[in-house]
Structure 1
């Protein structure tokens, strides 16, 4: 899946697409999901710097915007970090608020299932290369859904959210050691491992933590 970059001549339209995807995801969920996503959207529309991917706002200001207490702010921001939707770019210090960033790739992956609720035109606009045509549907390998090991469970989720990327980059990985919160994955080549570390490590970490919250580190090694 190609990540939307809200820059350039069509930046305004891309921003609306991202917000529309989030809205559709929220509306398809329960009240807790709706409230959490709408609160994040309020921060984006009010204080987010799209060009720099920075959200700089203190907990007191967030509490005032959301009309809640600061304990609720801490809880919901922790949930958004756990989902991988927001990331800390710079820790806060005395007299200076933390700088947060949005993980747009993770947001679009998590909302993907609900894009169709907006319309087929929306899906085709966001993924023009993925729209199937007659006689051109490529069957992707599926991981063993009965796999009981940690990597097997992670593979199921990775394949479900992005089959093409799974087939190209994740399918050939093997599980190495799992100890002290560190999951080691074995790559067939140095190039493959370097690409994963540079471009897809964040995605791997997020999915691994969703399967096992005890995973703090994902390490890519070469066989």
Structure 2
């Protein structure tokens, strides 16, 4: 999936697209999800620095904005960190609040199932297919995908759940980089995977390890790390 970046001449429109994804995701869920997403959106629209990807605001100020107590702020911010939507860029110290970041990639991946509720034009814009919609003669990209059917079956267990999550998030990325990974063991909270080549393992560790680890934690809370050899 092509991730939308709020930069360049169309930055304002891209910001609206990201907020639209959050809105659709919230409305497709229950009251608890709606409240949590609304609170995050309030931080984005009032305190978030889009260019630097920084959110620097104290718990007391957040509590005032949300009209709640600081205990509620701690609980909901912890939930957002566990979801991978908020990351700590610099831990706070005495007299200085923490500097947080927002993982837009993770946010958009999680909200993607709700995009059809907005419309096909939105999906095309967010996935980079907008230009192709008006040109049926446009040729398909010169890409040779991996055949998913050739991937080694994984049976049951956390790795099977993780694979399903990764496939649902981005089928093309899954086929190219995750489908051929094979579980070789698990212990002490670490999931061990084997890649078919050294280059493949290096690429996954460099570019995709964060996504793997997030999917692992969501599939099994006891998994805190993934190693690819």
TM-score (norm 1): 0.91
> 1:198 maps to which residue?
206
Change (3 A) 1:145 1:95: farther
| Residue 70 (structure 1) aligned with residue 67 (structure 2) | no
Question: Within 5 Å, which residues of 2 pair with 1:53-68?
Answer: 53-68=53-68
Q: Deviations over 1:181-211 (max 9, x none)?
A: 1111111222212211222111111111010
The alignment status of 1:216 with 2:224, answered yes or no, reads: yes
* 1:99-129 deviations in Å (ceiling 9; x for gaps): 1111111111111011111111111111134
Cα pair 2:146 2:175 within 8 Å, conserved = no
1:186 aligns with 2:186: no
Consecutive aligned runs of 4 or more in structure 1 exceeding 2 Å deviation: 128-134, 138-147
Distance of 2:154 and 2:201 partners within structure 1: 26
Offset at residue 145 of structure 1 (A):
9.2
Aligned positions of 1:23-38 closer than 5 A: 23-38=23-38
What's the offset of the Cα at 1:176? 2.2
Instruction: Kindly state the Cα deviation for residue 48 of structure 1 after the two structures are TM-superposed.
Output: 0.4
Cα distance in 2 for residues equivalent to 1:89 and 1:219: 23
CA-CA distance at 1:15 after TM superposition: 0.6
1:33-52 Cα deviation digits (max 9, x unpaired): 00000100000000001011
Residues of 2 paired with 1:186 and 1:166: CA distance? 15
Aligned to 1:175: 183
Partner of 1:45: 45
Aligned to 1:13, the other structure's residue is in SS state helix
Per-residue deviation, residues 45-103 of structure 1 (Å, max 9, x unmatched): 00001011010111111111100011111110111111111111111111111111111
Q: Does 1:85 align with 2:85?
A: yes
Cα distance in 2 for residues equivalent to 1:157 and 1:38: 25
1:14 aligns with 2:14: yes
Residue 155 (structure 2) aligns with: 147
Relative to the length of structure 2, the TM-score reads 0.89
Whether the 8 Å contact between 2:2 and 2:128 is mirrored in structure 1 is no
User: 5+ unaligned residues in a row in structure 2: which ranges?
Assistant: none
The answer (yes or no) to whether the contact 1:91–1:97 under 8 Å persists in 2 is yes
Cα 1:7–1:171 shift into 2, 3 Å: same
Change (3 A) 1:144 1:81: farther
8 Å contact kept, 1:91–1:98: yes
Q: How many residues align?
A: 220
Q: CA RMSD in A?
A: 2.3
